[in-house]
Chain A
Amino acid sequence: MSLLQYHHVSKRFGNTTVLDNINLEIPTGKIIGLLGPNGAGKSTLIKLANTLLTPTTGNITFQNQPLGVASKTEIAYLPERTYLDKTRTIRQTLDFFQNFYHNFDRAKAERLLDDLDLQLDTQILHMSKGMQEKLQLILVLSRHVKLYILDEPLGGIDPAARDYILDTILTNFDEGASVLISTHLIADIEKLLDEVIFLQNGKIILQDDADHLRAQTQTSIDEIFRKEFKNAR
């Protein structure tokens, strides 16, 4: 059974069509890459699943139910831009998450933060940008949910920190859960992926098993992406 389903979903802002008749199923127990150049509609697609936006036409279901309390409980979302209150300390942020999400595993979050040698009484605004991104990722991955949606988790991060982020994703999501990762940095991430979705101009142009694609084309996902989107940029 699939986790998340898009049924004929379109999203328009004024006269601009950002998503055009999207039909999509996010399966259970897989890591899926949502790949596309800037402006393809990746973030819009993700925001719709988190009810930060509503479709112009069509509808989205989570485990065949309309989006709502259940989907908000079972989807952990890492937005592209930070939503944390930076005047708070890490400890206050953990308190906030614990109050807000009953499925937040505080002990796990503290363990992961400890690995980074982060002091819980540090104010977030005193942390480097890379550390802030790591903190956000830890908060999201410390929730026990069925679907993790990560919007550009590698954006603006140096290569060493990238390894940490990828490793943390790989070893920390709940068994049997799915991870949907949007990115344009494909080379770094493609080894992790079970499936890839290519999004271009608001349309899905490809959804396939990553190893199946490699076997078929004898080339990397990154290379396929570059060829596919050469004229799109």
Chain B
Amino acid sequence: MHFKFNNEKPIYLQMIEQLELDIVSGRLPPGSQLPTIRELASQAKININTVARALAELEELNLITTKRTNGKFVTNNQKRIIKCREKLAETTTHEYLKTMQSLGFNTKELLKYLKERS
């Protein structure tokens, strides 16, 4: 897995966002096992406590579960994954709209612009 971080935002939040994206896009399919905390820390080049914090939060969000057999797995709950996808779509759209508005696009122009390019 590949991770990229900037230093301006809490690292654990960026870790959460990137794992959410991996889950929603299917790079981490439902039911699949996640690498261990140590492996993730080593791949992401961040420290173990930060990874543990991110995973704890994802577990709180029911996107991953811990199994007795000592591993963490992506949820099998499709509804939960779809909900996460909607959340990510909304955030992205909101940011995009904000930028386009600051460039002076009104809704009509924006729709035309999108249509021409999709």
Contacts and interface: CB of A to CB of B under 8 A. Distances in A.
Contact of B7 (A170, A191, A212): A191
A154 to B, nearest CB: 14
B46 interface: yes
A16 interface: no
Interface in B55-110: none
A30 interface: yes
Given A170-B41, A170-B42, A171-B42, A192 B8 contact: no
B45 interface: yes
B49 A192 contact: no
Interface string B16-46: 0000000000000000000000000110011
Contacts of A215: 9-10, 13
Interface stretch (A59-67, A131-139, A216-224): A216-224
A221 B6 CA distance: 11
Given A170-B41, A170-B42, A214 B49 contact: no
A45 to B, nearest CB: 22
Interface string A189-224: 011111000000000000000111011001111110
A212 B8 CA distance: 11
A70 interface: no
Contact of A214 (B9, B42, B46): B9
A187 interface: yes
B47 A192 contact: yes
Interface string A73-96: 000000000000000000000000
Contacts of B7: 187, 190-191, 214, 220-223
Contacts of A221: 7
Contact of B50 (A171, A194, A220, A223): A194
A30 B45 CA distance: 15
Contacts of A220: 6-8
Interface residues of A, number: 24
A221 B7 CA distance: 7
Given A170-B42, A191-B45, A218 B50 contact: no
Contact of B12 (A192, A193, A211, A218): A211
A166 interface: yes
Contacts of A166: 45
A30 B48 CA distance: 9
A109 interface: no
Nearest to B53: A211
Nearest to A191: B46
Nearest to A217: B8
Nearest to B10: A211
A114 interface: no
Nearest to A211: B10
Contacts of B41: 170
A170 B47 contact: yes
A219 B6 CA distance: 10
Interface of B: 5-13, 41-42, 45-47, 49-50, 53
- The 3 A-B residue pairs whose C-beta atoms are closest, nearest first, are A220-B7, A211-B10, A214-B10
Given A191-B46, A192-B47, 13 more contacts: A170-B47, A191-B45, A192-B46, A194-B47, A194-B49, A194-B50, A210-B11, A211-B50, A211-B53, A212-B10, A214-B7, A214-B8, A223-B8
